[in-house]
Amino acid sequence: MEEKSKVKHHRNKILIVLATIFIFSLPASCGNNNGSVSQTESAFLTNESKSAASPTQSVITEPESATPNIATESKFPEETKPQGQIEDESHSSGEMQVHFLDVGQGLSIFIQSEGQYLIYDGGDRKTSSFVVSYLKKHGVSQIDYLICSHYDSDHMAGLIGCLNAFDVKTVINSDYEHDSKLYDSFMSAVADNGLTVQHPEVGSEFVFGSGKFTVLSPSKIVADSNANSVAIKLVNGNNSFIFTGDADHKSESAMCTSGIDLDCDVLSLGHHGSATSTSYAFLEKTVPAFAVISCGAENLYGHPHKDTLEKLESMEINIFRSDKQGTVIATSNGKKIVWSTNPCNDYSPGEESDLGTQLQGDPPVQSESSSTESRAESSGTVVYITDTGSKYHNSGCRHLKKSKIEISLSDAKSQGYDPCGTCKP
């Protein structure tokens, strides 16, 4: 009995030893003390996790695993950005602002782009201080291009103030002389700045700001000062503007046959909307979406004339008018033009009594003499006017001693000139 008890006791010891050995042998087969996964199991879990992971890798929860996702997201927009958009950005033009200044019965256009400044005409003497202060208000200290379309006072006088107030780099004028004290003052101001006036040929191009401008006229110098106007086409990217000073129909005709592309978005109407400018042929070449008319309220010339406005209205061209809206600003980014105000689209003539040259109702019955006179006028009877007078004259009239400007009879009448009481043309 005692032997059985000893055997049982020894068997229990052996079992305890075996159990102990078994217990201590478990970590060696299931894992090490720090809980790391064996190499075989690690390879399996990696492959399994890769095959089970979604495209967003949402199964990865460790912070370290999120780092590659952040890097990928930061690169994604740059790598997938459309190439066309990049090309558009690299070829887009900078901003250009065109200010059509309200100088009453005159013309002045101020342009700024990428730190450069251009002024085209300066209005009359009485608005000279306004033009200078306006430019100073916009940070101008230097004018890169000063363009005088021609030597009439309502275009040139204000530029003398600009020559005296700013550092002017380039002066562009029409190549003719004008018999007036104002012209002498202008040329003296140019000389005082140590400048020489440039008379570029038609087709000459000048870089300006984010764009350029091309000279459109005059192709030749004639007796009529208005016909000698320097006209330019200003381009910024896909946007374009044309300024014509007081260019008349003949000058417009020369521009149409110059071979230069006259298509534009904005046309500054010649001669303040007078019937002597803005022919149908010119409008068909320029095809503007907008027209700007610079004229004074209740001016003595009845500008703008009904004939001109009827053309604009029939072609559905939107119009801005300084006599109705004051200063108007167009901002171009090379792709589109944004205006400071909406077009007024007021197609009423400056003079209410202006019925135009279009027939109103049934044509009147003409006598043979009046019919002959009408044919003579339409064929281009020539009369003469002076720089400052309000009459038109025959060639030998004594009032033409100081100045003598050739003009057609029909144009003289349409511009508001009356027949001279001395020579009775």
Query: Which amino acid, 17?
Result: V
Q: What is the pLDDT of residue 378?
A: 39
The CATH code that applies to domain 92-339 is 3.60.15.10
Instruction: Give tens-digit pLDDT for 180-215.
Output: 999 999 999 999 999 999 999 999 999 999 999 999
Across the chain, what does the average pLDDT equal? Answer: 80
SS in 3 state form for the chain? Answer: CHHHHHHHHHHHHHHHHHHHHHHHHHHHHHCCCCCCCCHHHHHHHHHHHHHHCCCCCCCCCCHHHHHHHHHHHHHHHHHHCCHHHHHHHHHCCCCEEEEECCCCCCCEEEEEECCEEEEEEECCHHHHHHHHHHHHHCCCCEECEEECCCCCHHHHHHHHHHHHHCEECCEECCCCCCCCHHHHHHHHHHHHCCCCCECCCCCCEEEECCEEEEEEECCCCCCCCHHHCCEEEEEECCEEEEECCCCCHHHHHHHHCCCCCCCCCEEECHHHHCCCCCCHHHHHHHCCCEEEECCCCCCCCCCCCHHHHHHHHHCCCEEEEHHHHCCEEEEECCCCEEECCCCCCCCCCCCCCCCCCCCCCCCCCCCHHHHHHHHHHHCCCEEEECCCCCEEECCCCHHHCCCCEEEEHHHHHHCCCEECCCCCC
Collect all residues with Cβ–Cβ distance below 8 Å to 237 and sequence separation of at least 6: 92, 93, 210, 211, 332, 333, 334, 335
CA distances from 150 to 73, 109, 230, 262, 399 (A): 62, 14, 7, 21, 23
Confidence band (pLDDT; 50, 70, 90) for 388?
Answer: confident
Q: Look at residues 249, 411, 234 and name the one whose alpha carbon lies nearest to residue 330.
A: 234
Q: Look at residues 158, 165, 160 and name the one whose alpha carbon lies nearest to residue 136.
A: 165
Asked whether residue 362 carries a pLDDT value surpassing 70, the answer given is: no
Percent of the chain with pLDDT over 90: 60
Instruction: Give tens-digit pLDDT for 127-158.
Output: 999 999 999 999 999 999 999 999 999 999 99
Answer yes or no: are the C-beta atoms of 152 and 125 closer than 8 Å: no
Q: Look at residues 157, 164, 100 and name the one whose alpha carbon lies nearest to residue 134.
A: 100
Pairing mode, strands 116-122 and 108-113: antiparallel
Q: Look at residues 44, 168, 181 and name the one whose alpha carbon lies nearest to residue 159.
A: 168
Asked whether residue 91 carries a pLDDT value surpassing 70, the answer given is: no
Delimit the CATH 3.60.15.10 region(s) of the chain. 92-339
Mean pLDDT to the nearest integer, 106-111: 98
Tell me how far apart the alpha carbons of residues 153 and 108 are, in angstroms, rounded to a whole number. 12
Answer yes or no: are the C-beta atoms of 91 and 323 closer than 8 Å: no
Tokens of 261: 């592309």
Tell me how far apart the alpha carbons of residues 275 and 400 are, in angstroms, rounded to a whole number. 25
Q: What is the pLDDT of residue 9?
A: 60
Asked whether residue 385 carries a pLDDT value surpassing 90, the answer given is: no
- DSSP bridge pairs for 212: 207, 235
Answer yes or no: are the C-beta atoms of 123 and 108 closer than 8 Å: yes
Asked whether residue 286 carries a pLDDT value surpassing 60, the answer given is: yes
**Which residue did the predictor score with more confidence, 44 or 248?**
248
> What is the C-alpha end-to-end distance of the chain, expressed in Å?
167
